[in-house]
Amino acid sequence: MSLLLLAAALLVLPSGRARRRIAGPRGHRWRRLAPNRALVVLAGAVLGLPVGVGGVVAGALLAATVWRTWRETARQRDHLAASVALADGVKAFVAELRAGAHPAKAALGAAQDARPPASDVLHVIAATSARGGDVEAALADVPDAHHLARAWRLSAVHGVPLADVLDAVRRDLDRRGAFARQVHARMAGPRAGAAVLAGLPLFGVVLGELGGAGPLAVLVGTAPGQVLLVVGVVLICAGLRWSGRLTRQVIA
């Protein structure tokens, strides 16, 4: 029963589009609403409490695995969104440079309509360039900006027009983003298959109850059943982690 309740909780989590509506165009309110790992594990343990000690352990393990899978999926989604935002910001920056604007003014103008983290990167470029500082060194400490740092160095050392180098960086970011989205979409089938396989043991328990075999009585009321419950959930969690690792390697 605890596994059924946990699965139901996963089904009612907002979709990616709903999370974007909650977050708004610039906000990150959904991140503040994201569940804490300790609370998720505690909820899983509480849901497994009616099944006994084995249910508590199994619920906690399953909740921790689901939470980690959700976090890794969110991290991949955020990384892809950051790449898209950075490509859009660099595109606006290049347009300002080719219009004849100074790098500081061009970066500041592009940052006004950019989304994080592109707006943060462009503000660093604007502030550093305005005071005549080392933009490459400033970008070296900014996440997701190592491509821009190398482009800035290439332009400064070899005299290549900055707009041309940054436009090449933008095209590379666009290609990487398109490839990542395509692979992510193609991995939806294997991820769904892994989730279905992970739910088959629960389906088997339900079929056993409908057939009169009484597997729940064994799992709840006997010590060997409690051990088997924990072992089964451990194997399910290991399978989910393994399949998740395989799909992440393909996407990465």
pLDDT at 60: 93
Are 65 and 109 in a shared domain? no
> Which domain-ending residue is among 122, 155, 180?
180
CA proximity to 76, closest of 16, 116, 24 = 16
Are 72 and 156 in a shared domain? no
Domain that holds residue 146: 88-180
Distance, in Å, from the CA atom of 101 to the CA atom of 106, rounded to the nearest integer, reads 5
pLDDT at 251: 61
CATH code of the domain in which 123 resides: 1.20.81
pLDDT at 34: 56
Are 38 and 162 in a shared domain? no
pLDDT at 181: 85
Distance, in Å, from the CA atom of 170 to the CA atom of 155, rounded to the nearest integer, reads 15
Distance, in Å, from the CA atom of 219 to the CA atom of 202, rounded to the nearest integer, reads 12
Are 95 and 165 in a shared domain? yes
pLDDT at 234: 94
pLDDT at 88: 92
pLDDT per residue, tens digit, the chain (252 aa), is 444 444 444 433 443 433 433 333 344 444 444 568 889 899 999 988 888 899 999 999 999 998 998 888 888 888 888 888 999 999 999 999 999 999 999 999 999 889 988 898 999 999 998 888 888 888 877 777 888 888 888 888 888 899 999 999 999 989 988 888 888 888 888 888 888 888 888 898 899 989 888 888 888 889 999 999 999 999 999 988 888 888 777 665
In this structure, which amino acid lies at residue 132? G
* Both tokens assigned to 94: 């290049």
- Rounded to 5 degrees, φ, ψ at 117 are -90, 0
Are 73 and 112 in a shared domain? no
Indicate the number of domains in the chain: 2
